[in-house]
Amino acid sequence: MKYVLFIATDPAGERIDENPEAWVEKWNGRGVRLEGMPLKPVEETSTVRARGREVLVTDGPFAETAEWIAGYDLLEAADLDEAIEVAASHPMATAGRIEIRPVEPLDHGTGTDNVPHEGDAPASRFLAIMRTDPAAPPYPVDPAAVAAWIQDGLASGRYLGGEHLSPVGDATLVRRRGGELLITDGGYADVPEWVTGIVFVDGDREQALEYLGRCPMARSGLAELREFWRDFG
C-alpha cells in the first residue's frame, strides 16, 4: 500500500546532527521508499482559491502556523506498521514531526492514471498541496470536471501526476522526544484546512497558478503552490 509522509517542522523538536541521506539510502535499498523531495521555505508559498468567477491568489501559506510541511516522501509499504517504522527512523521524527497518510487511488477515467514520478528528481517544478476550506461556499466537485482538468494538464504539460489521500482522520503522527517514540492519531497540525492530496505541476509560477486556478478542487478548497528545492538550471 502507498503512503505519503509529510515531513513537517516543529518548534518543540530536538536538535540533531544526523543527515537524512543515510535514511534515504536505507529505505530506497529496501524498495520501500519510492521518492521524496524537500520544498523551498513556506514563505515562498502562493495560495490559490477559486470563488465564483474569481481566482484569488495570495502570497504565503493558507494560515500562519508554527508547523509547516518541509518535504514529502512516498512509500510502498506492506502496512501502516511498516510505514510507522520508516517514519520513526527519519531524523525529522526527532527534529520535527511526520504525518503518515494512506494514498486513496481515484479513477478519473481513461488516460488519467498517475503519471510515473521520477524518484528524487521529479520532472515537475512545483508541488501543489490541496486542502479543504471550511470557509468556502458549497461546491460539489464533478469527477468528470476533474478528469477534464487532468487531461488538459497532461496535454499542456502542466500536470505530471498526483496522489489523492484518505481523510485526515486516517492520519498517523510520528515523533521522537527524549528518545521516546510518540505515535498519535491526527495530522501534523490541528487545522481545519487539512490536506486532501498532492499534485505535481510543471511550468513557470504564473503558468502553474493559472492551471491551479482552473482546478475544480480549488472551488471547494484551496491549493498551496510550493516549489521543490532543486536547481532547474
Buried b (16+ CB within 10 A) or exposed e, 67-79: bbbbbbbbbebee
Superfamily of domain 2-227: Dimeric alpha+beta barrel (3.30.70.1060)
Instruction: Give a three-class secondary structure readout of the chain.
Output: CEEEEEEECCCCCCCCCCCHHHHHHHHHHCCCEEEEEEECCHHHCEEEEEECCEEEEEECCCCCCCCCEEEEEEEECCCHHHHHHHHHCCCHHHHCEEEEEEECCCCCCCCCCCCCCCCCCCCCCEEEEEEECCCCCCCCCCHHHHHHHHHHHHHHCCEEEEEEECCHHHCEEEEEECCEEEEEECCCCCCCCCEEEEEEECCCHHHHHHHHHCCCHHHHEEEEEEEECCCCC
Four-CA torsion 89, 93, 99, 105, nearest 10 degrees: -30
Residue 5 pairs with which residues in a beta bridge? 73, 100
Question: Please, which pLDDT band fits residue 233 given cuts at 50, 70 and 90?
Answer: very low
Buried b (16+ CB within 10 A) or exposed e, 83-122: bbebbbebbbbbbbbbbbbbbeeeebeeebebbebeeeeb
How high is the pLDDT of residue 123? 77
Question: Please, which pLDDT band fits residue 115 given cuts at 50, 70 and 90?
Answer: low
Higher-scoring residue by pLDDT: 106, 190:
190
In the chain, the percentage of residues whose pLDDT exceeds 90 is 83
| Mean pLDDT (the chain, rounded) | 93
13-68 residue pLDDT tens: 999 988 899 999 999 999 999 999 999 999 999 999 999 999 999 999 998 899 99
Map grid coordinates 498519535 to a residue: 184
Q: Which three cell numbers stand for residue 194?
A: 487539512
Rg of the Cα trace of the chain?
17
Which of 88-97, 135-144, 187-196, 202-211 bottoms out in mean pLDDT, i.e. has the lowest?
Answer: 135-144
125-148 residue pLDDT tens: 999 999 999 999 888 889 999 999
Q: Which three cell numbers stand for residue 182?
A: 510518540
Range 175-192 average pLDDT: 96
How high is the pLDDT of residue 159? 94
